Amino acid sequence: MCFSPNMDDEYEKLIRRMNPPRVVIDNDSCKNATVVRVDSANKHGILLEVVQVLTDLNLIITKAYISSDGGWFMDVFNVTDQDGNKITDEEVLDYIHKVIPNHKIILPFLFEHFYVEPNTCTGLLIQSLGPESCFTSSMRSVGVTPKMDHTVIELTGSDRPGLLSEVSAVLTHLNCNVVGAEVWTHNTRAAAVMHVTDRETNAPITDLERLSRIKELLCHVLKGSNSSRRAAKTVVSHKQTTHTARRLHQMMFADRDYERAPGYEMAEASEDEKQRPMVEVVNWYDKDYSVVTIRSKDRPKLLFDTVCTLTDMQYVVFHANINAEGPEAYQDYYIRHLDGSPVNSDAERQRMIQCLEAAIERRVSEGLKLELCTTDRVGLLSDVTRIFRENSLTVMRAEVTTKDGKAINTFYVRDASGYPVDAKTIDSIRQVIGQTILKVKGGLEDSKAVAQESTTRFLFGGLFKSRSFVNFGLVRSYS
């Protein structure tokens, strides 16, 4: 009998079709959480698929037990809503039932990499996602996918004051409306995924000449006046985009934000130091597993960030125990490479530690949280970030969304000099923008001041009053 070389793959597909994922939701067995059980034929990335669905519903995962030995995947998640209550909304429960068995996450897609010379654009990807789009090989930094109703711009590069404001101003000048964006900064690096439409038509921008002009001007903004910029790689997707948060992790990982900045010195231990993540990686030789242990201050979406990083680094999670019922989160993973081997060297172990620490730190919500809700208009993001910049506020992270003509934006800000955000500054900004439009979440005491000496650690959107900077993204490896 002659066997096809693809027979094993076809057999695995048959097994998955014969054994579709089964989801059981239980609101009775646990006193303070809804229990979600998922059974399925195992495949690489399925854990991330499930965690992504639960995370995108803004559910809090308080406990999880994962097992995927023997070709079968069995997970149990204890979840609550944002207020710590069981999930009783029938629409949410029905969504979990329907989506997890059919959910198809986009695993690391094919990238076309190319090297960008120092002192040139530090990483720019523009994707036009419209019905008339096509990929043009001559424009290697412009990728096109005909699936969505906006153009996607991806930016990576060195962080510096006023960058988000400048990027937004350029897009407004080019008659682009920002309908969505997510911005992260970490360890002197910055990454952003921005969704834009044409100002007049509200449609994706598909004209290649115009895309080239957008790229040219944004490259100029990213380059700035810093001649010592790190060379970067730019990636272009041919057919698909991926989950925004996962894409940002991929972009910052490719930009090596996990590496220590030049001249960086560890600060003395402090209260903030105690809250930084502790990551250990050891080999369990009897079972051929590498055991990854993570202890950190808990926060929303933490599990997604660590699972995403392990998955994109081509590790398979065979077993895991997650406990985040208190202020701290405890995560234990039993992993191997895709080829079945454990971590092979001390260098690999140290790299994994640094990458997991970076993944945890990227979304740490330090600083003052500001929420803006108003009618959307072209230039809104540019105007708001300009006001922040003029009042010496630096934006460490931002989420921009629009729905039904409304803009709902969240900014995490600090005073650019490293001191606590002044209440008078916030009052002044709210008077300009509108007291009912811009609201403070939490309190001014949530904006912790941590002094820093390095002049390289700029964050998005601020001008500095002094040469003392915010100490953000400080991490320590434990072995």
Q: Which domains does the chain have, with CATH numbers?
A: 12-100 (3.30.70.260), 151-255 (3.30.70.260), 276-362 (3.30.70.260), 368-441 (3.30.70.260)
CA dist 81 and 83 (Å) reads 5
Identify the residue with better confidence: 389 or 455: 389
Count of residues for the chain?
Answer: 479
pLDDT at 225 > cutoff 90: no
> Any idea which residue has 């009783």 for tokens?
88
Q: pLDDT digit string (tens) for 377-398?
A: 999 999 999 999 999 998 899 9
Sorting pLDDT into bands at 50, 70 and 90, what band is 283?
Answer: very high
- Averaged over 79-107, what is the pLDDT? 82
Count of CB atoms situated within 10 Å of the CB of 202:
11
CA dist 10 and 323 (Å) reads 37
Tokens at 352, concatenated = 């994994």
Identify the residue with better confidence: 240 or 205: 205
Mapped onto helix, strand or coil, the DSSP state of residue 78 is strand
Mapped onto helix, strand or coil, the DSSP state of residue 292 is strand
> Any idea which residue has 């997991």 for tokens?
356
Instruction: Please report the pLDDT score of residue 22 as a whole number.
Output: 86
Establish how many alpha carbons lie within 13 A of residue 391's alpha carbon, considering only the half-sphere containing its beta carbon.
Answer: 23
> Which helix (DSSP H) or strand (DSSP E) does residue 408 occupy?
strand 406-415
- Mention every residue, 6+ apart, whose C-beta is less than 8 A from residue 128: 142, 144, 145, 151, 152, 204, 205, 206, 211
pLDDT at 131 > cutoff 60: no
pLDDT at 215 > cutoff 80: yes
Pairing of strands 189-198, 406-415: unpaired
Give one DSSP letter per residue of 19-65, joined into a string. S--EEEEESSSSSSSEEEEEEEE--TTHHHHHHHHHHHTT-EEEEEE
Instruction: Please report the pLDDT score of residue 309 as a whole number.
Output: 97
Please state the φ and ψ torsions of residue 306, each to the nearest 5 degrees: -75, -40
Q: Which of 383, 369, 391, 368 is nearest to 449 (CA)?
A: 368
Q: 179 near 150, Cβ under 8 Å? A: yes
Identify the residue with better confidence: 88 or 10: 88
Sorting pLDDT into bands at 50, 70 and 90, what band is 37?
Answer: very high
Q: Which amino acid is at 377?
A: R
Mapped onto helix, strand or coil, the DSSP state of residue 107 is coil
Sorting pLDDT into bands at 50, 70 and 90, what band is 261?
Answer: low
- Averaged over 79-94, what is the pLDDT? 94
Phi-psi region of 84 (alpha: psi -120 to 50; beta: other; left: phi over 0): left
* Residue 368 β-bridge partners: 413
> Alpha carbon of 313 to those of 33, 107, 301, 351: distances in Å?
31, 11, 19, 10
Q: 291 near 352, Cβ under 8 Å? A: no
Instruction: Please report the pLDDT score of residue 108 as a whole number.
Output: 39
pLDDT at 253 > cutoff 90: yes
Establish how many alpha carbons lie within 13 A of residue 339's alpha carbon, considering only the half-sphere containing its beta carbon.
Answer: 4
Instruction: Please report the pLDDT score of residue 364 as a whole number.
Output: 86
Q: pLDDT digit string (tens) for 293-305?
A: 999 999 999 999 9
pLDDT at 8 > cutoff 90: no
Sorting pLDDT into bands at 50, 70 and 90, what band is 7?
Answer: low
Whether pTM > 0.85 for this model: the answer is no
CA dist 257 and 456 (Å) reads 14
- Contacts of 405-408 spanning 24+ positions with Cβ under 8 A: 405/375, 405/376, 406/373, 406/374, 406/375, 406/376, 407/372, 407/373, 407/374, 407/375, 407/376, 407/377, 407/380, 408/371, 408/372, 408/373
CA dist 79 and 55 (Å) reads 10
Q: 181 near 409, Cβ under 8 Å? A: no
- Mention every residue, 6+ apart, whose C-beta is less than 8 A from residue 182: 192, 193, 244, 245, 248, 398, 399, 400
pLDDT at 238 > cutoff 50: no
- Averaged over 361-373, what is the pLDDT? 89
Tokens at 354, concatenated = 């640094």
Q: pLDDT digit string (tens) for 138-181?
A: 222 322 333 468 888 999 888 887 889 999 999 999 999 999 99
The per-residue pLDDT of the chain, averaged, comes to 78
Phi-psi region of 71 (alpha: psi -120 to 50; beta: other; left: phi over 0): left
For the chain, what percent of residues have pLDDT higher than 70? 71
Sorting pLDDT into bands at 50, 70 and 90, what band is 442?
Answer: confident
Q: 458 near 473, Cβ under 8 Å? A: no
Instruction: Please report the pLDDT score of residue 27 as a whole number.
Output: 94
Instruction: Please report the pLDDT score of residue 83 as a whole number.
Output: 92
CA dist 431 and 438 (Å) reads 9
